[in-house]
Protein backbone atom coordinates (compact mmCIF):
# COMPACT_ATOMS: atom_id res chain seq x y z
CA UNK A 1 0.00 0.00 0.00
CA UNK A 2 1.49 3.35 -1.02
CA UNK A 3 0.82 6.41 1.13
CA UNK A 4 1.45 8.88 -1.75
CA UNK A 5 -1.67 7.78 -3.65
CA UNK A 6 -4.38 7.97 -0.99
CA UNK A 7 -7.41 7.61 -3.24
CA UNK A 8 -7.86 4.94 -5.87
CA UNK A 9 -10.75 4.90 -8.35
CA UNK A 10 -12.81 1.72 -8.17
CA UNK A 11 -12.91 1.34 -11.94
CA UNK A 12 -11.69 3.25 -14.95
CA UNK A 13 -13.81 1.25 -17.43
CA UNK A 14 -16.55 3.25 -19.13
CA UNK A 15 -19.48 1.83 -21.07
CA UNK A 16 -22.64 3.05 -22.81
CA UNK A 17 -24.60 -0.13 -22.10
CA UNK A 18 -27.45 1.14 -19.83
CA UNK A 19 -27.50 -1.90 -17.58
CA UNK A 20 -23.71 -1.69 -17.14
CA UNK A 21 -23.90 2.06 -16.44
CA UNK A 22 -26.50 1.44 -13.72
CA UNK A 23 -24.48 -1.47 -12.33
CA UNK A 24 -21.32 0.66 -12.17
CA UNK A 25 -23.16 3.60 -10.61
CA UNK A 26 -24.69 1.43 -7.91
CA UNK A 27 -21.56 -0.54 -7.10
CA UNK A 28 -19.03 2.28 -7.22
CA UNK A 29 -17.87 4.54 -4.43
CA UNK A 30 -16.97 8.18 -4.90
CA UNK A 31 -13.60 7.89 -3.22
CA UNK A 32 -12.42 4.86 -1.36
CA UNK A 33 -9.31 5.24 0.74
CA UNK A 34 -6.97 2.26 0.42
CA UNK A 35 -5.80 2.79 3.97
CA UNK A 36 -7.54 1.96 7.21
CA UNK A 37 -9.97 4.58 8.45
CA UNK A 38 -9.03 3.34 11.91
CA UNK A 39 -6.73 6.32 12.47
CA UNK A 40 -3.58 5.41 14.41
CA UNK A 41 -5.08 2.16 15.67
CA UNK A 42 -7.85 3.97 17.52
CA UNK A 43 -10.44 1.27 17.01
CA UNK A 44 -11.54 0.49 20.53
CA UNK A 45 -14.03 -1.91 22.03
CA UNK A 46 -17.46 -0.37 22.12
CA UNK A 47 -18.86 0.63 25.45
CA UNK A 48 -22.49 -0.33 25.73
CA UNK A 49 -24.25 2.52 27.48
CA UNK A 50 -27.65 1.27 28.47
CA UNK A 51 -28.54 4.80 29.53
CA UNK A 52 -27.52 7.37 26.91
CA UNK A 53 -28.36 10.13 29.39
CA UNK A 54 -25.82 8.88 31.95
CA UNK A 55 -22.75 7.62 30.05
CA UNK A 56 -19.46 6.82 31.75
CA UNK A 57 -16.19 8.49 30.64
CA UNK A 58 -13.66 6.51 28.64
CA UNK A 59 -10.28 5.69 30.17
CA UNK A 60 -8.11 8.79 29.45
CA UNK A 61 -5.07 6.55 28.88
CA UNK A 62 -6.93 4.80 26.03
CA UNK A 63 -6.96 7.89 23.80
CA UNK A 64 -4.33 7.70 21.04
CA UNK A 65 -3.22 11.35 21.26
CA UNK A 66 -2.16 12.09 24.82
CA UNK A 67 -1.50 15.54 26.34
CA UNK A 68 1.78 17.18 25.39
CA UNK A 69 4.44 17.60 28.05
CA UNK A 70 3.35 20.12 30.63
CA UNK A 71 -0.35 19.82 29.76
CA UNK A 72 -2.99 17.69 31.44
CA UNK A 73 -5.93 18.05 29.03
CA UNK A 74 -6.36 15.56 26.20
CA UNK A 75 -5.99 17.34 22.85
CA UNK A 76 -8.95 17.59 20.50
CA UNK A 77 -7.70 15.71 17.44
CA UNK A 78 -9.33 13.70 14.68
CA UNK A 79 -7.81 10.52 16.13
CA UNK A 80 -9.21 11.26 19.61
CA UNK A 81 -12.60 12.13 18.10
CA UNK A 82 -12.63 8.83 16.22
CA UNK A 83 -11.63 7.00 19.41
CA UNK A 84 -14.48 8.66 21.33
CA UNK A 85 -17.10 7.89 18.67
CA UNK A 86 -15.90 4.27 18.46
CA UNK A 87 -15.86 4.00 22.24
CA UNK A 88 -19.51 4.99 22.50
CA UNK A 89 -20.48 3.01 19.37
CA UNK A 90 -21.46 6.21 17.55
CA UNK A 91 -21.62 5.87 13.77
CA UNK A 92 -20.54 8.97 11.82
CA UNK A 93 -21.19 8.77 8.07
CA UNK A 94 -21.59 11.14 5.14
CA UNK A 95 -24.77 10.72 3.07
CA UNK A 96 -23.77 11.43 -0.56
CA UNK A 97 -27.42 11.75 -1.66
CA UNK A 98 -28.52 14.29 0.96
CA UNK A 99 -25.04 15.85 1.10
CA UNK A 100 -25.06 15.87 4.87
CA UNK A 101 -23.47 14.27 7.88
CA UNK A 102 -25.30 11.41 9.57
CA UNK A 103 -24.59 10.72 13.25
CA UNK A 104 -26.23 7.63 14.72
CA UNK A 105 -26.09 7.28 18.50
CA UNK A 106 -27.37 4.06 20.10
CA UNK A 107 -30.40 4.73 22.27
CA UNK A 108 -30.87 8.27 20.96
CA UNK A 109 -34.49 9.03 20.18
CA UNK A 110 -36.27 12.21 19.31
CA UNK A 111 -37.90 14.11 16.52
CA UNK A 112 -36.48 13.62 13.01
CA UNK A 113 -36.42 17.36 12.29
CA UNK A 114 -34.18 18.01 15.32
CA UNK A 115 -32.07 14.82 15.16
CA UNK A 116 -28.94 16.52 13.78
CA UNK A 117 -28.84 19.15 16.54
CA UNK A 118 -29.50 16.56 19.24
CA UNK A 119 -26.75 14.26 17.91
CA UNK A 120 -24.18 17.10 17.88
CA UNK A 121 -25.24 18.15 21.39
CA UNK A 122 -24.80 14.59 22.67
CA UNK A 123 -21.31 14.30 21.13
CA UNK A 124 -20.38 17.71 22.63
CA UNK A 125 -21.58 16.42 25.99
CA UNK A 126 -19.40 13.30 25.59
CA UNK A 127 -16.41 15.51 24.68
CA UNK A 128 -16.97 17.51 27.87
CA UNK A 129 -17.42 14.34 29.93
CA UNK A 130 -14.05 13.09 28.65
CA UNK A 131 -12.26 16.42 29.12
CA UNK A 132 -11.77 17.24 25.44
CA UNK A 133 -12.10 20.80 24.09
CA UNK A 134 -15.06 21.06 21.70
CA UNK A 135 -13.91 23.91 19.44
CA UNK A 136 -13.10 21.88 16.31
CA UNK A 137 -15.55 19.03 16.93
CA UNK A 138 -17.92 19.75 14.00
CA UNK A 139 -14.98 19.82 11.55
CA UNK A 140 -13.54 16.60 12.95
CA UNK A 141 -16.92 14.86 12.63
CA UNK A 142 -17.06 15.99 8.98
CA UNK A 143 -13.63 14.40 8.37
CA UNK A 144 -14.73 11.12 9.97
CA UNK A 145 -18.01 11.20 8.03
CA UNK A 146 -16.17 11.80 4.78
CA UNK A 147 -14.09 8.68 5.41
CA UNK A 148 -17.36 6.74 5.79
CA UNK A 149 -19.43 7.82 2.79
CA UNK A 150 -22.65 5.99 2.02
CA UNK A 151 -25.32 6.13 -0.64
CA UNK A 152 -28.74 5.16 0.79
CA UNK A 153 -30.22 4.74 -2.70
CA UNK A 154 -27.49 2.30 -3.75
CA UNK A 155 -27.82 0.47 -0.42
CA UNK A 156 -31.59 0.11 -0.93
CA UNK A 157 -31.13 -1.13 -4.51
CA UNK A 158 -28.49 -3.64 -3.41
CA UNK A 159 -30.74 -4.87 -0.59
CA UNK A 160 -33.43 -6.05 -3.01
CA UNK A 161 -32.86 -9.24 -5.01
CA UNK A 162 -33.16 -8.79 -8.77
CA UNK A 163 -35.92 -10.85 -10.37
CA UNK A 164 -33.93 -11.11 -13.64
CA UNK A 165 -36.59 -9.12 -15.51
CA UNK A 166 -35.23 -6.30 -17.63
CA UNK A 167 -37.45 -3.24 -17.50
CA UNK A 168 -35.33 -1.04 -19.74
CA UNK A 169 -37.53 -1.53 -22.83
CA UNK A 170 -40.59 -0.50 -20.80
CA UNK A 171 -38.70 2.54 -19.58
CA UNK A 172 -37.47 3.48 -23.07
CA UNK A 173 -41.06 3.23 -24.34
CA UNK A 174 -42.01 6.09 -22.01
CA UNK A 175 -39.44 8.43 -23.60
CA UNK A 176 -40.29 10.73 -26.49
CA UNK A 177 -37.48 11.67 -28.81
CA UNK A 178 -37.05 14.30 -31.53
CA UNK A 179 -37.65 13.13 -35.11
CA UNK A 180 -33.92 13.28 -35.90
CA UNK A 181 -33.08 11.21 -32.81
CA UNK A 182 -32.98 7.49 -33.66
CA UNK A 183 -34.63 4.79 -31.60
CA UNK A 184 -31.29 2.98 -31.35
CA UNK A 185 -29.56 6.08 -29.98
CA UNK A 186 -32.35 6.54 -27.41
CA UNK A 187 -31.52 3.13 -25.95
CA UNK A 188 -27.83 3.84 -25.42
Are 53 and 19 in the same domain? no
Are 12 and 58 in the same domain? no
Number of domains forming the structure of the chain: 2
pLDDT in tens, 91-111: 999 999 999 999 999 988 778
Q: Alpha-carbon distance 142 to 92, whole Å?
A: 8
Name the 3-class secondary structure at 101: strand
Q: Which of 24-33, 47-56, 86-95, 168-177 has the highest mean pLDDT?
A: 86-95
Note down the domain range covering 16. 1-35+162-188
Are 178 and 128 in the same domain? no
Residues 51-58 have a mean pLDDT of 84
Per-residue 3-state assignment (H helix, E strand, C coil) for 74-97: CCCCHHHHHHHHHHCCCEEEEECC
Are 186 and 118 in the same domain? no
Is 108 inside any structural domain? Answer: yes
Is 157 inside any structural domain? Answer: no
Are 71 and 127 in the same domain? yes
Are 132 and 185 in the same domain? no
The region of weakest confidence among 35-44, 105-114, 151-160 is 35-44
Amino acid sequence: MQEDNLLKPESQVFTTNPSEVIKQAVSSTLAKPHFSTDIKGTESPSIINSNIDNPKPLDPASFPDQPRNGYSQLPATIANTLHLTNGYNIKVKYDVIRNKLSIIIPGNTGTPDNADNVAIARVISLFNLNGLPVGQLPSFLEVIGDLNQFNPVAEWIKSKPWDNTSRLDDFFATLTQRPDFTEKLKKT
